[in-house]
Chains A and B, each alone.
Chain A
Amino acid sequence: MKADGAKFAALVRERQGMVYSIAWNYLRNQALAEEVAQEAFLELHRRMAQIESEAHAVHFLRRVAVHRAIDEGRRTRLQSRMGLEGVPEPAERPRAGDPMLEAALARLVATLPGRARMIVILRYQEDLEPTEIALILGIPLGTVKSSLHRALSVLRKRMARKWKGVLQ
């Protein structure tokens, strides 16, 4: 693909939500997520000559955003310590689709270890299959499946401890 100015700007506009959200959901910091997103697009621009199609560009952007976000998380040691204790107590029992419940779930995801957190994000934000996640992270399919299983089990337990019976 050619790195033509107008076309590249259109590509950025179209894919910025995906790239920014991967970084934001992982880092939960707007400035860092924006920096990761910009870096991912610059990397794509540098490699445009080797990019064969739009699907290839999307895969490339996802891969770069994922690895940059993980690196940034390691660098800044941005392991959120906010567990369920940090989630405000609801005034009444939340229902599925409740913004408070969503915020609590997002915060719980942020307490997962780095790789497990990224696997959950790629599965539920990007709706990717475990095979695609394995390809992006460069890890065996079995590792993705077992990490996902363990992560969901931990999240369920923690949710159940606080809000029994809200989500099954």
Chain B
Amino acid sequence: MTDFESGLREALRRREPPRDLTNAVMARVAVRRRSLWPAVAAVALVTAAGVGEGLRAKRELMFAVELTSRKLGVAQAKVMELSQRRIGRD
């Protein structure tokens, strides 16, 4: 390494940072954490509401499927009855 490069290294050596830099960073980290809590709570609330909504939709769907299944059962019984009658006539 030349004298010139050694000079540059000296000129650009690391500086002592302000004494309270770590405290300032940690204070901003704490502020960020505090400001994140309402957002986390809101997300949790929305998620919980979404889950509740989902459960209600599932119940309604099950009921509709059950109802359709019952109706189909009745229709099938009618079809069977009609076809039995036709067989008896023939």
Interface residues of A (CB under 8 A from B): 5, 8-9, 12-13, 16-21, 24-25, 30, 34, 37-38, 41-42, 45-46, 96-97, 101-103, 105-106, 109, 120-121, 124-125, 127, 152, 155-156, 159, 167-168
A contact patch SS? helix
**Surface stretch bound by A, among B21-29, B50-58, B65-73, B76-84:** B21-29
Number of cross-chain contacts by CB at 8 Å? 100
Chain B interface residue number, banded: 20 to 34
Closest 10 CB pairs of A and B: A20-B17, A105-B11, A21-B14, A125-B12, A102-B11, A167-B4, A106-B11, A41-B25, A124-B8, A16-B17
A2 to B69, alpha carbons, bound, how many Å? 54
Residues in B whose Cβ lies below 8 Å from that of A37: 17, 21, 25
B35 touches A (CB below 8 Å): no
Interface residues of B (CB under 8 A from A): 2-18, 21-22, 24-26, 28-29, 32
A168 to B18, alpha carbons, bound, how many Å? 34
- In the complex, the chain B residue whose C-beta lies closest to that of A102 is B11
B12 close to A121 (CB less than 8 A): yes
- Interchain residue pairs with CB less than 8 A apart (29): A5-B26, A5-B29, A13-B22, A16-B17, A16-B22, A34-B17, A34-B24, A37-B17, A37-B25, A41-B25, A42-B29, A42-B32, A45-B29, A45-B32, A46-B32, A102-B10, A105-B8, A105-B10, A106-B12, A109-B12, A124-B8, A124-B11, A125-B13, A125-B14, A152-B4, A159-B4, A167-B3, A167-B7, A168-B2
